[in-house]
Amino acid sequence: MNKMWQGTVMNDSRFVVPASGVMPRHVLCAVGVGLDLDVLNRVVEAAGAGDFIVDELQQEPDPRMRDAFGATLDARRPTRDDEFGDDDWAAVDAHDSVAYVLSQPISQSSAVEVSRQALAVTAALLANGATAVKNESSGVACGRERWLTLADRAATAENDHDLAGALDHAWVVPALLDEDVFYSCGMHLLGEADVELAPGPAAALEQWGEWMTTMDTARYYLLTEQPTRGIRDGEGFRLSPDAPRWIMNRMECERYEEDEFFYNPYGYWRLTPG
């Protein structure tokens, strides 16, 4: 998975045109008891400012839901506490209806606002009959109270850093492992490339904590501090002046197909030892 990114950078900026032309979108899956289509349509329309729709309502239990929620929780368990407790599991097990809610296709310039709206929609669903929610587009689930806390953080954020923190915690899996490469999943929902870290054959496992911090910091850098001109291949990145230096190169997303929810048209910024 070493193919250089094939898109085009727009006028020496952070905005890009992916070669694939794929536009991401939020796909929320909400379960509950007796979910009502009219109610769902009304609250999704209001909370999502007209940019979200109820795409489907299944008024019967789906026996796959426990395993589906379990898989999303397992993806973030090593790096993040999603506060999914016994009450949340009981809600999944007791559901008798499943709703799927879609956002509009997300452009790079609209991604942060649409992702903030997605948290508002999640909170509105939980206030109107839904009992558990997961995001199919990045493989994330949180417990009810955690979702409500993140939605409130996003709604009351006073600056870009606060908003980026809430959205990252809501929609991004910080680190998955693909052979000897760590990678994040979900940054396409925020209009950015995901982050890969390839520590190299001489790396020691006890550096795992440092690698995770490096990936976290790199994501926040992309969301809040990258230069107006964007990042260029071969630029260096480090946590502090005396920390190890990493080289950033943008790669194509080849581990997921273009029609898969996890596919990132903006690619990955791969960090390799400098």
Residue pair 40/128 in contact (Cβ under 8 Å)? The answer is yes
**Residue 185 Cα distances to 12, 45, 57, 62, angstroms:** 26, 27, 27, 26
**pTM for the predicted model, two decimal places:** 0.96
Q: How confident is the model at residue 268 (pLDDT cuts 50, 70, 90)?
A: very high
Task: Give, rounded to a whole angstrom, the gap between the first and last alpha carbons of the chain.
Answer: 19
**Amino acid letter, residue 249:** N
Q: Given its phi and psi angles, is residue 17 left (phi above 0), alpha (psi -120 to 50 degrees) or beta?
A: beta
**pLDDT attached to residue 206:** 79
Name the helix (H) or strand (E) containing 130: strand 130-135
pLDDT at 129 over 80: yes
| Segment 20-41, tens digit of pLDDT | 999 999 999 999 999 999 999 9
Q: How far is CA 78 from CA 55, 175, 177, in A?
A: 32, 9, 11
Tokens 């979900």 belong to residue:
186
Residue 140, beta-bridge partner list: 135
- Over residues 79-118, the pLDDT tens digits come to 999 999 999 999 999 999 999 999 999 999 999 999 999 9
- The span from the CA of 124 to the CA of 151, in Å, is 10
Give the pLDDT score at 12: 87
Q: Among the residues of the chain, which ranges form H helices?
A: 37-47, 65-76, 86-94, 111-126, 144-156, 160-171, 208-220
Q: Is the pLDDT of residue 1 over 60?
A: no
Q: Could you give the percent of the chain with pLDDT greater than 70?
A: 98
What per-residue confidence (pLDDT) applies to 155? 97
Backbone angles phi, psi at 117, to 5 degrees: -60, -35
pLDDT > 90: percent of the chain: 91
What is the reported pLDDT for 25? 97
Residue 267 has pLDDT above 60, yes or no: yes
Quote the pLDDT of residue 43. 97
Q: How do residues 154-196 score in pLDDT, each as one tens digit?
A: 999 999 999 999 999 999 999 999 988 999 999 999 999 999 9
What is the overall mean pLDDT for the chain?
Answer: 95
CB 52 within 8 A of CB 30: no
Question: In which region does residue 127 sit, left (phi positive, over 0), alpha (psi from -120 to 50) or beta (all else)?
Answer: alpha
- Asked if pLDDT for residue 205 goes beyond 90, the answer is no
Cα–Cα–Cα angle for 249, 107, 168, rounded to 5 degrees: 65
**pLDDT for residue 125 is more than 90:** yes
Q: If DSSP codes are grouped into helix, strand and coil, which group holds residue 43? A: helix
pLDDT at residue 65 is higher than 90: yes
**Identity at 25, one-letter amino acid code:** R
